[in-house]
Chains A and B, each alone.
Chain A
């Protein structure tokens, strides 16, 4: 065995998968996982653990995998993470745990994400129960939003004996895991549904179709609603547009709209009523995970998909694996390109997008080289659909209807980093609602920290 080479993982053939919504990566078999785990050097001072936002004891779980004791491996992960099957699939491992793996210096880092996923899938398939709730302690907590932050906050509190109710605005729980990240990266019926079923088994009650701030307010939950504390995990769901001419033409969508229609509403299945419209040539503007997901969705719905991004390949913020998969599937990358106007035909439908070429200048505040326009380089891209994937910001709905809940300039709820406590008594917050769009693992970590802080506080009250 070559210690510096990763055990290959099977994937659906790119030509085949470009036409379906089934999961791309098929996961390791038992033998493959054990083989990959045996590459781990079990470092005394591991580079991986400090780079994991929730500090999973990675060498320990990997050594159990090496021995074939997957149940113990699952328990190690469960100490630090409540959504391993999700994180194993969607975490940006290459910039986190796998980044400082010593094997990466000479060869390829251990496939930590893939092993995490294997362990989580194995324990789901073998119905391994990693936790038991304590008896009811007489206290009630309301959780707003059922994305990763809300789910993990609810799970931890339920285990500690709290009666927890999640209020979700949409008609299905899961947040971005359900409406945003597509089926081909994160299967809904197996992986996501399992996480939600687990919560229900812990006694967590989930009420969908409740928009906090509209249907009922936080103040009503706390005063008269019978809740002792509230956690706000409402995410960052508001799409940004570019504000360029022609942006309201027919055929211009936000990535959120396309993804919601396709993932949450299942528009790709003919038996579902929600329509979706993807033309023959689709430009997706942006370079993050959302852009990759939108482009690969457009491709699967029959369009020729282009990523239009104003910086270069190195600056793409998307996970490396997604970029790689997108390329394999035939997504075309138009880099150092920025739209300036969307051109519509006489009936108002998109018939092209005027773009300008960019070059990289001096580094900006983010440390990345700033894209600058090349004068006179405008050209017309022949497209009939444009999808804007420029990032999202938190919804002002909750702060604007909750007295005393303060936000910063970017509409993010202000919360203490270690506890999630907001500027309002008994109200905690975490995840994208606090940070702006970030990652599943950070949202999960924030939900767990807040759960600990809520427990710390409520267990003192009698």
Chain B
């Protein structure tokens, strides 16, 4: 059991949880993730590590309650425990393995969307620790969905907010903002790191390809074990099948087959819809049989 030491509401339905996991807090590196199981009947949910501190033994994750399982997870409060918390999984971010001098020569831009800000934060923090302040664009629906702003501002260079409704910062998509910075504001970047919804990463990559900027993405594929055992997380990168959990989660964004990756994310959509329905209407429990849903797409 892994105790939740702290829980904070960051935005509507988005929580930060600090979990007691001393072994992971000691070995985690930016870019890695954990797998979390809420309770006995829960599923294995991959979540990126947002922060870690070997002194306190705490590992921070950010959970957006969108699916039936994440909704269950955020019902837990400070003092409650998660059944399982495994990690750190995946490879550390490329940045964390790079030569520091080489890194200092690069101009880096992070582009985060929604809760993608959570995995971007530890990378910014890592770079900041080396004396490198990268720029960052954070996109969200509206101002009140913008998370970890103060934390990120403290460890980044230029901080560019973008909102769909214009309630804060730039009005529009992160790609519009990025293009504006490059084309009209004379900004030059050697590297873009983008983390967020698959569709956003796809379009960021399309744009950076046009400008010839190396781009790293972090994929949030469907996973079960997270250790290379099942292949649920497979993606096509540069024409080759790769397992996100052990060969990623970071890949060269210009080589990722995003259309396939997005399609694969929908595999369990119909099952999920049924579960959400059940959760909202517990009276109907038992009226659906998982088995019969096999053919539904």
A residues sitting closer than 8 Å to B (CB atoms) are 169-171, 208-211, 214-216, 237-239, 241, 243, 247-248, 250-251, 253-254, 256-257, 260-261, 265-268, 270-280, 301-303, 347-349, 384, 395, 397
Are the C-beta atoms of B27 and A214 separated by less than 8 Å?
yes
Are the C-beta atoms of B292 and A273 separated by less than 8 Å?
no
Query: How many Å from the CB of B206 to the closest CB on chain A?
Result: 20
Are the C-beta atoms of B37 and A257 separated by less than 8 Å?
no
In the complex, what residues of A have CB within 8 A of residue B288's CB? 270
Q: A209-B86, A238-B228, A273-B69 are in contact. Are A265 and B43 (CB under 8 A)?
A: yes
Are the C-beta atoms of B297 and A215 separated by less than 8 Å?
no
Are the C-beta atoms of B86 and A260 separated by less than 8 Å?
no
Stretch at the interface among B9-17, B147-155, B208-216, B258-266: B258-266
Residue of A nearest to B32 (CB): A214
Query: How many Å from the CB of A36 to the closest CB on chain B?
Result: 37
Q: A248-B264, A270-B289, A271-B41 are in contact. Are A239 and B27 (CB under 8 A)?
A: no
Complex alpha-carbon distance, A358 and B27, angstroms: 51
Does B52 touch A at the CB level, under 8 Å?
no
Query: How many Å from the CB of B288 to the closest CB on chain A?
Result: 7
Residue of B nearest to A282 (CB): B294
- Number of A-B residue pairs with CB-CB distance less than 8 Å in the complex they form: 133
Residue of A nearest to B68 (CB): A273
Complex alpha-carbon distance, A302 and B27, angstroms: 44
Does B227 touch A at the CB level, under 8 Å?
yes
Complex alpha-carbon distance, A279 and B84, angstroms: 31
Complex alpha-carbon distance, A214 and B225, angstroms: 14
Complex alpha-carbon distance, A347 and B266, angstroms: 11
In the complex, what residues of B have CB within 8 A of residue A348's CB? 260, 263-264
Query: How many Å from the CB of B270 to the closest CB on chain A?
Result: 8
Are the C-beta atoms of A169 and B294 separated by less than 8 Å?
no
* Chain B: interface size category: 35 or more
Q: A268-B290, A273-B68 are in contact. Are A211 and B224 (CB under 8 A)?
A: no
B residues sitting closer than 8 Å to A (CB atoms) are 23-24, 27, 37, 41-44, 68-69, 72, 83-89, 224-225, 227-232, 234-236, 241, 246, 260, 263-264, 266-268, 271-272, 275, 286, 288-292, 294-295, 297
Are the C-beta atoms of B37 and A171 separated by less than 8 Å?
yes
Q: A171-B37, A270-B286, A273-B43 are in contact. Are A215 and B230 (CB under 8 A)?
A: no
Are the C-beta atoms of B228 and A237 separated by less than 8 Å?
yes
Query: How many Å from the CB of B108 to the closest CB on chain A?
Result: 26
Are the C-beta atoms of A347 and B72 separated by less than 8 Å?
no
Are the C-beta atoms of A273 and B275 separated by less than 8 Å?
yes
Are the C-beta atoms of B83 and A171 separated by less than 8 Å?
yes
Our pick among A254, A266, A277, A395 for the contact of B231 (Cβ within 8 Å) is A254
Are the C-beta atoms of B43 and A211 separated by less than 8 Å?
no
Complex alpha-carbon distance, A250 and B234, angstroms: 11
Residue of A nearest to B288 (CB): A270
Residue of A nearest to B67 (CB): A273
Apart from the given pairs A214-B88, A215-B24, A275-B43, 15 other A-B contacts in the complex at a CB distance below 8 Å? A169-B225, A209-B86, A211-B87, A241-B241, A247-B241, A251-B267, A254-B231, A256-B230, A257-B231, A273-B41, A273-B42, A275-B275, A279-B295, A395-B228, A397-B246
